[in-house]
Chain A
Amino acid sequence: MAEKKVLNTRILAHGIQKSYDDQMVLRGVDISVAQGQTLAIVGRSGCGKSTLLRCLSALEEPDDGDAFLDGQQYIESGETLFAPWEIRQNIVMVFQDYNLFPNMTGGRNITLALEKTKAISKAEAEQHARSIARKLGIEKALSRYPNTLSGGQAQRLALARAMVLQPKVLLLDEITSALDPETIINVVDAIRDLRSADTTGELTIILVTHLLRFASDFADRIAYMHDGVILEELPARDFFDSCARPETQSFVSAFRRPI
């Protein structure tokens, strides 16, 4: 019998609910991602994917639900148990629109949080920045300002800025959605580079994406979200063929059909 490595659950969420005004966006979401694994969340626009990521990273407070990081509860019945910035030391998010600091060079975009949250020297932070920039192929962006960067470079910079903090969980919120097809490939490659740059093998990623093929290639598991709940979750390689719910099948078939 093949030896099976037991993976610890890194992040676990249960029954996450969130409403805006009278609109219920999350209706009790459960997810569980093991250490070093990647979960891709797919689904139609407006199904609540991004809201879920915001709740997990304490950028929004859910109305109800529990969440645990490495077994430590940090959301209890919708209540955040730590200061939000404490949670975000471990759960870092990257956005569709990069959300870079426009008044700082690429290098400073990377070093600021490193210096402020890890209490390391400026010189050391700059060294880390150069190293991550090299891995992601954006050395030139270090001395430039965000408004002079292409979309692909900007998103790589946003990834570098998040990765250099060595978070336990990286949340990627539709990070390719604002980009043209060629640049998407560029950024997808960057995410792959990130994976291989993670020597500990512990980096856990939850990514929300419209790119089903990338999800099935890159992620370990794919969850299909529909109307505020996760309808089904499957190993990525089985997702296309084994999804059982009609909503999922219809979503998947849209990717197969030529436009």
Chain B
Amino acid sequence: MGYDWDFTVFQEYWAALLRGLWVTIHLSFLSSVIGTIIGFALGIFYRLKPLDRLLLPVNDVLRAIPMLVLMFFFYYFPYLQILGRRPPSAYFSALAALTLAQAVFTADLVRAAVDGVPTKTILGARSLGLREPTIWRYIILPDVTRQILPSLVAFFIGNIKLSSLASVIGVEDVVFVAKVAVGQRFRSLEAWVIVALVYVALVIPLSYLARKLEGSEWLRRRS
């Protein structure tokens, strides 16, 4: 008994795999960055009364929807019938779903972290005659960033992995290429080992970064 490993059958798929890797990278990178920026804005927006009462439940609902369902929603939405325009590509649908999820998660983190900024630091800033926009820019947002950065890195890692779901709606990422290769070469184990290694290689540096961050002096510069 014993399994006869054979990776050679995938030789002709390397180029496709690299293209898939590139799709995985920019899909997860773009959604993380754009989603974080939108999330910061939303989180600050949610602080405005009475908007918070209106928007927070929406935020909670959106956070509850699984990623695959979000992707289906953006992909299968009847764009032509309702909006009178052509549906977006599978890639764009997946990007929208990942970005939306990143945005609503970040918004919730930011909203809570603003409450966590020490009152005395803000009082200190006010007592010097600084105006509120200046206080937000120089005191509140830097502190919020320190509070939520470790969680954001965890989200980025999550996005890399969640982006694999995009293959279901036809985005040609690493997983999509592997599915095609398996279908043609029937070497399932080898294919998924390769895919797993690709994800490990993408995620490990970020995990390392997260660990570095935990112990960083910079992160502790809050009262």
Which residues on A are within 8 Å of B, measured CB to CB? 57, 59, 84-86, 88-89, 92-95, 97-104, 112-113, 116-117, 145-147, 158, 161-162, 165
Given A147-B220, A165-B128, decide whether A95 and B120 contact each other with a Cβ distance below 8 A.
yes
The reply to whether B130 and A116 contact each other, CB–CB distance below 8 Å, is yes
Given contact pairs A101-B138, A102-B222, A95 touches B130 in the complex (Cβ within 8 A) = no
CB distance from B221 to the nearest CB of A (A): 5
**What 1/0 flags go to B137-165 for Cβ under 8 Å of A?**
01100110010000000000000000000
Question: Are the C-beta atoms of A117 and B128 separated by less than 8 Å?
Answer: yes
**A96 nearest CB neighbor, chain B only:** B120
B123 at the interface (CB under 8 A from A): yes
Name the distance in Å between B96's Cβ and chain A's nearest Cβ: 34
A85 pairs with B131, CB closer than 8 A: yes
Q: Which listed residue, B127, B134, B223, touches A116 by the CB 8 Å rule?
A: B134
Q: Does B124 sit at the interface, judged by CB under 8 A?
A: yes
Contact call A88/B221, Cβ cutoff below 8 A: no
Interface residues of B (CB under 8 A from A): 120-121, 123-132, 134, 138-139, 142-143, 146, 220-223
Contact B127 A92 (CB under 8 A): yes
Q: Which residues of B contact A89 (CB under 8 A)?
A: 129
The binding surface of chain B is classed by DSSP as helix
Establish whether residues B124 and A100, one from each chain, have CB atoms under 8 Å apart when the complex forms. Answer: yes
Q: How far is the CA of A92 from the CA of B123 in the complex (A)?
A: 11
Q: Which residues of A contact B142 (CB under 8 A)?
A: 103
Residues of B contacting A102 in the complex (Cβ-Cβ under 8 angstroms) = 121, 143, 221-223
A92 contact set on B, CB distance < 8 A: 127-129
Contacts of B131 in A (CB 8 A): 85, 116
Interface contact A101-B126, CB-CB below 8 Å: no
Nearest chain A CB to B136 CB, angstrom units? 12
The one of B121, B127, B146, B222 in contact with A57, judged by C-beta atoms closer than 8 angstroms, is: B127
Q: What chain B residues lie within 8 Å of A147 (beta carbons)?
A: 220-221, 223
Q: Is A113 within 8 A of B123, CB to CB?
A: no
Residues of chain A contacted by B222 (CB below 8 angstroms): 102-103
23 contacts between A and B (CB under 8 A): A85-B126, A85-B129, A88-B127, A89-B129, A93-B127, A95-B123, A95-B124, A95-B127, A98-B124, A102-B143, A102-B222, A103-B139, A104-B138, A113-B125, A113-B128, A116-B134, A117-B130, A146-B221, A158-B124, A161-B128, A162-B128, A165-B128, A165-B129
- Chain B residues with CB below 8 A from A101, complex form: 121, 124-125, 138-139
Q: Which residues of B contact A84 (CB under 8 A)?
A: 126
The complex places the Cα of A158 from the Cα of B130 at a distance, in Å, of: 15
Residue of B nearest to A87 (CB): B129
